[in-house]
Amino acid sequence: MPNKIKVVLDTNVFISAILFKGKPAKIFEMGIFEGKIEISISPEILAELVGKLKYKFGIDESLLIEIKDYLSSKLNYILPEYETRICRDTDDNKIIDLAISSNSNYIITGDKDLLEIKKYKGVRIVRPEEFLDIFKL
């Protein structure tokens, strides 16, 4: 079997997948339920996701614990060993750090600052719909 496509989802894509469905949810399903892609997450991105779900969307603490535990067990959970400083929004650097550290092929995001970069050290930065159009997995 060929190597899986490795991806990093930006926090906004995780939130859309969990709360709003659509194309981000399809990508999430491709990784978690279908095993067609490998999704990586770092402790920092997981903490940001949980914080946004709690404070922006009012998700209950017990459900947040379940989400955190579930994602930690189902995704490629790694500590990035790479550190970059190329993003205009310095908070976005953690997404690129994770992609490089996990040898990912793609960063999937809706973030305009990240999308402007387009490609960094071999990692393509694309919108969810572009990823699905490329692979039709």
* Topology of the domain comprising 5-135: Rossmann fold (3.40.50)
Its pTM stands at 0.93
Q: How do the residues of the chain divide into helix, strand and coil, expressed in percent and rounded to 5?
A: 55, 15, 30
**Could you report the per-residue pLDDT of 20-48, keeping only the tens digit for each?**
989 999 999 999 999 999 999 999 999 99
Say yes or no to pLDDT of 64 above 80.
yes
Q: What is the C-alpha to C-alpha distance for residues 78 and 41, in angstroms, rounded to an integer?
A: 6
Which residue do the tokens 């040898």 mark? 103
- CA 95, CA 88: separation in Å to the nearest integer? 13
Q: What is the pLDDT of residues 112-135, one digit of tens each?
A: 999 999 999 999 999 999 999 998
Checking if the pLDDT of 85 tops 60, the result is yes
In the 8-state DSSP scheme, what is residue 21? Answer: -
Q: Where are the domains of the chain?
A: 5-135
